[in-house]
A and B are shown apart, each in its own frame.
Chain A
Amino acid sequence: MNAEKNGLLAMLRKPSAKYSLLSLLVVGFFSGIFFWGGFNTAMEATNTLEFCIGCHEMRDNVYVEYKKTIHYSNRTGVRAICSDCHVPKDWTHKMIRKIQASKEVWGKITGVIDTPEKFEAHRLQMAESEWARMKANDSRECRNCHSFDSMDVEKQKLRGSKMHKIGIAEKKTCIDCHKGIAHSKPKGMKEEDDE
């Protein structure tokens, strides 16, 4: 044991008789880039539309609804996919969300929402949870693309223009009014959702 310990310590102190410290560091540095890149690529693969609709729960319900909306197809051809709204872009929040998403893997395995009836039964709960997340982060994912600062309310149509002026004055966040922008609204929304 002692010998092994010595061996470990010795290895750390004098890693290689054959290779220089510099070679080891350079190889390690570039390997790190390669494997970090690989990790990131795998991470981003889980943010693609194709990955999300790989689960029929998403493909047959919310994807169908989203395809009818302006975030899918519009005049300027700018599309927002699932991860643009549901996965934070900055690294820390993204990692936290990805770890939380392991709960969804468990849900998939146990089939919590694997039929249309089960999906509808859970729709309100899922919607409320997502709205709460967006309200708590001041609609951070909406702000990936939109902001009151970059919005010219005078160029908008009458209804939008008036409502955004109220939103600016009352310091509202996007999700306060834009519930149902990409997926069907659930039945039984509570008055608190009307805040």
Chain B
Amino acid sequence: MSKSIVSTAVAGALLVLGSHAAIAAPDWGKVPKRDVNVFHAGVTPVEWMTKKSDHSGTSGMRKGETCIGCHEEKGTLNFNFKRLADKELEPKGAPKTMIFPVSVQAAYDAANLYVRLTFKAPGGGADKGDKDNEVKATLLFADAKVPQANQFGCWQSCHGDARTMPAGNDKKTKYVATGSYELVQWASKGNKVSDGSVGSERKMSGGATGAKAEASKSGDTYTVTFTRKNPGEGKAVPFGVAIHADHASGRFHHVSLGYMLGIGADGEVKAVKQ
């Protein structure tokens, strides 16, 4: 009898330990993938995007349309890439790859939100400004105060007067007038993780997400898994993805349009409860 009590106790203990391990790392095989496409956006800051003579879609935006509502079609982005790669919108010359897919998976538990990105970072970059890092992967999460974040995603932080823009000020970073974004970034050199924010300026540290990241490379494919504080069950958070491929820096990243991440809520990416 004592033997069975002991074995039950041992089994019980193992179960508890085992389930803890399951909470800490989601079974990614069971988490659905949502492909988003990241693209080279050229010189199309929010000032350009909201001017009808530059971007006729402004009419739709004024009616509350989201970027993906018009631009995500048949699993890809229906931009006029000829125009995006042209000297007018990309004075420095376009990268070899204008668009590539990134798989997004998300899961959450009581404490954390886990976001995993899987992608192949292309070479042939147009501006290799970051000598140290071959690849960086960044997520921006908008807070409730950023205006029209559910439509624009990260675009509210992209301005024509920021550094690396043709009319840019070297000292100005991304910024947003109202509200702020949480920033989490993984950089390939030394697997550096940054936990920052974009408010009146972009800060690479001092963020409140407690972000961690794990990354691996298998052949050409990068897998980056971010762990950060769960913003709250029932919330849908506007977010965007940026990949700095081939030593890109500043505006030469490939960016996604705005998507909604639902944590026990609706969204293009629905985080799976663990």
Q: Is residue B216 contacting chain A, with contact meaning CB distance below 8 A?
A: no
List chain A residues, Cβ under 8 A from B52.
Answer: 193-194
- Fill in one digit per residue for A170-195: 1 if any B CB lies within 8 Å of its CB, else 0: 10000001010000010001010110
Contact call B63/A166, Cβ cutoff below 8 A: yes
Contact call A163/B57, Cβ cutoff below 8 A: yes
Contact call B78/A158, Cβ cutoff below 8 A: yes
Task: Report how far A137 CA is from B78 CA in the complex, Å.
Answer: 32
Contact call B60/A166, Cβ cutoff below 8 A: yes
Q: Is residue B53 contacting chain A, with contact meaning CB distance below 8 A?
A: yes
Q: How many A residues touch the partner, as a band?
A: 10 to 19
Residue of B nearest to A195 (CB): B52
Task: Report how far A28 CA is from B273 CA in the complex, Å.
Answer: 93
List chain B residues, Cβ under 8 A from A166.
Answer: 59-60, 63
Residue of A nearest to B51 (CB): A194
Q: Is residue A157 contacting chain B, with contact meaning CB distance below 8 A?
A: yes
Q: Is residue B134 contacting chain A, with contact meaning CB distance below 8 A?
A: no
* Among A159, A166, A189: residue with most chain B CB under 10 A: A159
CB distance from A69 to the nearest CB of B (A): 12
Q: A157, A158, A163, A170: which contacts B56 (Cβ < 8 A)?
A: A163
Task: Report how far A7 CA is from B209 CA in the complex, Å.
Answer: 107
Residues of A at the B interface (CB closer than 8 Å) are 157-159, 162-163, 166, 170, 177, 179, 185, 189, 191, 193-194
Give 14 A-B pairs besides A158-B70, A159-B71, A170-B59 with Cβ atoms closer than 8 angstroms: A157-B73, A157-B78, A159-B57, A159-B70, A159-B73, A162-B65, A162-B70, A163-B57, A166-B59, A166-B60, A166-B63, A177-B56, A191-B51, A193-B53
Residues of B at the A interface (CB closer than 8 Å) are 51-53, 56-60, 63, 65, 69-71, 73, 78
